[in-house]
Structure 1
Amino acid sequence: MTLKEHKKHSVLTKPALGHFARNEWAFVGTPCGEIKTLADQVIAALSSSYKCSYVDASHAHADAAATLPGRLAKGAVAEYTDQITYHQVDFTQPMNAFRFRQLFSEMDLVLVNGNHQQAQAQVVVIDERKRASLQKRVAQLTNVQLILLAEGTEQVFDFVQEAIPGWQALPIYKLSDTAKIVSFFQEQMQRAQPVLNGLVLAGGQSLRMGRDKGAIDWHGKAQRYFMADLLKGFCNEVYISCRAEQQVEVNNGYKTLSDTFIGLGPYGAILSAFREQPDAAWLVVACDLPLLDEQTLEQLTSQRDSAATATTFVSPHDGFPEPLITIWEPKSYPLLLSFLAQGYTCPRKVLINSETNLINPQHPDALLNVNTPQELEKVKRLLVK
């Protein structure tokens, strides 16, 4: 092997994250007060549908900013305060993009004061009061998606035109046109909804059943294929999740996704799917649900909430979330990994302790799973009725 052939790190598909999150915009080119007002308007309009957040810097006097609050002044590196209506964490460690992404991993939309922080996309305000400041930050205009004209401004600055190829094709609104600005962000967020893939869990060893549950013929074909075909009507791509040695047993007409998180059961299969496509949402179904039908999948997908960690049914059997017929959003990927780091491999535990969109099934029997020969015979009788 030559030095050029040597690869120090494994090649992984990285999520499409910015400095803070997947969808982030920095407002730049106008005073901080105007940016705060603009952020307030957008957040107020979108917060009922999306988890929104805002990033800024303190505008306190330098001497006041240098004084550490609370126990930090005594040497603590972090302090948590339950403020009753909100929660506050102060800490002294320096921040970088990796830590920001951890903090904002569940956010759908991050708005940034571009006078102090950068973001993956930008909204440029053409404002004479900040002409010189904007010119100093022209190198930050890497992905401008909207131009706003402040009161009394009619033309885009020459240096902005030079910095943004094709700037004429961008939407240009008045800074005072709140409705159009809000509409812009609503459209951007709708376009950003993650694509939905399907994953049929067929990699279990079926020890209680005594034979491969995915190969049982309930509806004229092996159950793993029946489930995959059922998901195709609701998903962009559908994969059958299996162990590596099982792939040769799967019909070539179906895509497979082998476990790369070994020995973790369904938890590992879900993580393996996100490792393959971290920006997709995954509709995960177990292969041992012989009564699952289109109506149940239609209810689940039509009531999907992409702002939640996941969308799932309330189990009619125990009242807990049903983890193996669930839409897992991309934001659940780092959450699943964090639970794994704490020693947990139960997807239901993640759902219980996260912001999960829970819905009541219109057809509870569709969630009945079959794990033993006795349960198999029971469901056979139901199917012939």
Structure 2
Amino acid sequence: MKALVKKRPTNPPAWYVGLDYIDKPEPSVTPERPVKVQIISTGICGTDVGIYQGKDSLAQSMAKNKDEETILGHEFCGRISEIHDSAKTEVASLLLRKKLLNKKLADYVEGKTAKQLASGADFVEFLNKNFYVSAEMHFTCLECLQCRTGHQHVCKKTIGKGIHEDGAYTDFMVVPANRLVLFEVGEVPPEIISFMDAIGNGVHTCQSADLVGRTILITGAGLQGLMSCAIAKQLGAGKIFITDVIPDKASLDKLGIAKKIGADFTFNVGKPEGLAALRETIAKETDNTGVDIVFEMAGHYSAYNVIFDSVRMGGTILMLGLPAGKLELDFSNQVIFKGLTIKGIYGRRVFDTWDLMRYLLANGLTETILRSGVITHQLPLAEYDQGFQALINGQAIKVLLKPGI
């Protein structure tokens, strides 16, 4: 099978730019990775772009990988093609816990135990035909303090599938049964399932503060900023302000898309007049108080002066963007005397973020995403370079890659 890989850095942080499109053997199911998934579509994430560019922090992380090369990709939609005998009952239990919308599927499982379902000769075929699948791609130990207290997303032993071991930029991938998320065919479009991992970051951000009626500044109108805008509006946020740096010759109207999905005010802060308009508008709309909450999604330190100037005393800053390098900060005046709450957002809460995301998609978020135009490219896996370059050059928001085309 064809796969998109990055070679392990041998002298980090030195690393090469680009990826390699090569032949790899098809993986086999094992008791540790018992579910084999055929990949339909997979999304390019900002982390993948960082790996493509040879980012220092990711070079340091992937230098610890045991294999000389790793198949990238952690956002995906697929179908189950094989299950190791040791995990069939676990997958059947997962199916029984799901509220089935299709009566024929509900009739198939009604009255059966997990063992009875798992022992059926057509069980895997039933799943393959009737369900799409994705997975929580942060694999955790389930034993550390964080895992035991409901914080699996910050497990100290996390393995990032598609970063630390082979991921979804290929035809087939194997995953643990306890990370699967099932979707009936017709429940959520496969192109959206393909990047629910990323949508989940926005949901987790919105779960991290009381948004109802609150004013929110979102710095960065990339995918994470746009998704968090749509989610916050659906969850009852008040006025939303969103910023980005838009080049003069940009062909992609990110701020126009932001308006479509819920932003009340948008600003190109790459220009002095945009920065001035942001300050004036926030002052006017908040009675010179500042916004209640900031979502920092840009991952650039240039945005930090904006967020500390814009947030009110006693406000909250939620940080998902990953800036490079270091920043000098006046903690006394910018944080302590202002009484700010600052929280880092990493991954998704397992699995309550997925449950809320499924609910939001079923109640309007799917339509919001599809009509917004955030899925800008759908390409064969072999044309990956076009997709990565489009993202790097600001000509794309969400790029989907499709193996086997």
Pick the TM interval, shorter chain: under 0.3
TM-score by length of 1: 0.27
TM-score by length of 2: 0.26
